[in-house]
Amino acid sequence: MSDTQEVLVEDRGAVRWLTLNRPQAMNSITGTMLAQINDALKAADDDPAVRVIVLTGAGRAFCAGLDLKQAARGEGIGGDGLASAGARHYSTREICTVTLQRLDTPVIAAINGAAAGYGLDLALGCDMRLIADGAVLMPGFAKMGVVPESGGTWYLPRLLGWAKACEVAMLGDTLSAARALEYGLVNAVAPADGLEAMVSDWSERIAANAPLAITELKRLFRHGLTQDFESHSHHVLMSVLNLFRSEDFREGVQSFVEKRPPQFRGR
């Protein structure tokens, strides 16, 4: 790994850790970081050896959102640079939060510190969110004169329901880890020094399951958001019939009969 990269990539067995790497700026977003996140997500999803992706931040923050100091100087995505790198980001298929939503590989957000603005949208776009007890979610978009620009307006009503989404977004109050868990915005809370261990445990347990089944689960969840029940049921049936023909299904059955842990190969 090189510490000059704005996104660090590390493989831990079948789990790929992506770490936002601008700790001196609380991992605030730059055009370079957006491009590197997008490329790293695509590369992980294309790699059959990667069964789970973890997204986290270096230092004391997960991601503080767009770099407001750059914006104040008329630079970067929030400043005059919006007409260049920022505009390209928002007007093409290279939006990393769209890439994140398209991934078939499960993604866990390890929220080690504050997640604000774009950083909150990134976390919401992950399949699961595990948070350190001292970390916070900061949905203060309206207090900055903007809206959640990269997924929050889509995710919040689905995760919280209409009224609660309005409460969170329109009040814009900072949410503690405990409150985020109460609302259902995160899956679990860990002590700060135990977050990495919890994330490793969850990701390794997912990686040990049949990857074809995990992929189909995620695809079916995604399709189910826009399908009626009957259409979705037909879609599920086709997936199940395909999985019945897989080596992984046979291994799952055989390992159950033999009372041993399965060894799935993704075939």
Per-residue pLDDT tens for 145-191? Answer: 777 777 888 999 999 999 999 999 999 899 999 999 999 999 999 99
Which amino acid, residue 115?
A: A
What pLDDT sits at residue 78? 53
> Does the pLDDT at position 225 exceed 50?
yes
> Comparing 238 with 87, which gets the higher pLDDT?
238
What are residue 116's DSSP bridge partners? 138
What residue spans define the domains of the chain?
7-207, 211-258
> Does the pLDDT at position 90 exceed 70?
no
Cα–Cα distances (Å) from 105 to 73, 149, 225, in that order, read 38, 24, 18
Level-2 CATH architecture, domain 211-258: Orthogonal Bundle (1.10)
pLDDT above 90 as % of the chain: 76
CB atoms within 10 A of CB 36: 20
Is the torsion defined by CA of 2, 53, 98, 185 positive or negative? Answer: negative
In CATH, which of 3.60.15.10, 3.40.50.300, 3.90.226.10, 2.60.120.10 is domain 7-207? 3.90.226.10
pTM: 0.88
Confidence of residue 219 (pLDDT cuts 50, 70, 90): very high
